[in-house]
Amino acid sequence: MRIIISPAKKMTVDNDSFSHNQLPKFINRTEELLSHLKSLTYDELKKIWKASDKIATLNYERIQEMDLRKNLTPAILAYEGIQYQYMASGVLETEQYTYLEQHLRILSGFYGILKPFDGVTPYRLEMQAKLKHEAYPSVYAFWGEQLAHTLFNETDTIINLASEEYSKTITKYNTDAKIIRCKFGELQDGKVKEKGTLVKMARGEMVRFMAENQVQTPEKLKVFNHLDFAFSDEHSTENEYVFIKG
């Protein structure tokens, strides 16, 4: 079983808490991406990033000075988004880190697919971004089927806690793996409504729950009750587990 999650835009450098275990699996492909990004002008990169001048300037400077093999942070500590805050990955126990290293995979536009203790450096490149590249017009095109094939070679059961932008790099190429999407929402007028921030919080809590309880089968997810969520058998299907708040 594998768990897939999205990265976060906001990143930090932390090589004091833990050392990274290895370089990302697709580091050579990431070097290709970096070389291409370095060839672009500031204005071209700003369009790709769709960012403010402040953010674009920061990331343009990062690109020029980037070293993919030095001063690296374990991926699980590098991302600072809401989901990662609720995972509270900085205070897990050894067996929980071991569980995540085996089961958790972070999908990334820049690195492709990451294990929690792969060493990364701060970057900005969303999966849905255009690339201004002759052979690869988009990040999706650059990665193609590689990420899906990698995951399907590892497992036939995937717990999908990623956003649609990232998860479709896997689901688009699925043939016979069991992929279960976890949906978190509130019941309004008989329908389950998802709210962005709450969903990110719940996804983080679910990852933490799985690590704390060493979850090995999808069935065990149904007892998840963090943030006042509860599994709804009525609203769930074989491929979508729905958790309703309150």
Note down pLDDT in tens along the chain; length 246 residues.
999 999 999 999 988 888 899 999 999 999 999 999 999 999 999 999 999 999 999 999 999 999 999 999 999 999 999 999 999 877 789 999 999 999 999 999 999 999 999 999 999 999 999 998 888 999 999 999 999 999 999 999 999 999 999 999 999 999 899 999 999 999 988 889 999 899 999 999 999 999 999 999 999 999 999 999 999 999 999 999 999 998
Rounded Cα gap, residues 127 and 169, in angstroms:
9
Looking at residue 144, what is its pLDDT?
96
pLDDT at 175 (0 to 100): 86
- Structural domain span for residue 176: 2-245
- Tell me the residue length of the chain: 246
The number of folded domains in the chain is 1
Question: Using CA atoms, how far apart are residues 174 and 71, in angstroms rounded to an integer?
Answer: 36
Are the beta carbons of 118 and 21 closer than 8 angstroms? yes
Alpha helices in 41-188 (DSSP H): 42-49, 53-65, 75-78, 82-87, 94-103, 139-143, 146-154, 164-171
Please tell me the predicted confidence (pLDDT) of residue 218. 97
Give residue 209's pLDDT: 97
| Confidence (pLDDT) at 164 | 96
Task: Give the separation between CA 61 and CA 224, rounded to whole angstroms.
Answer: 43
The pTM is what? 0.95
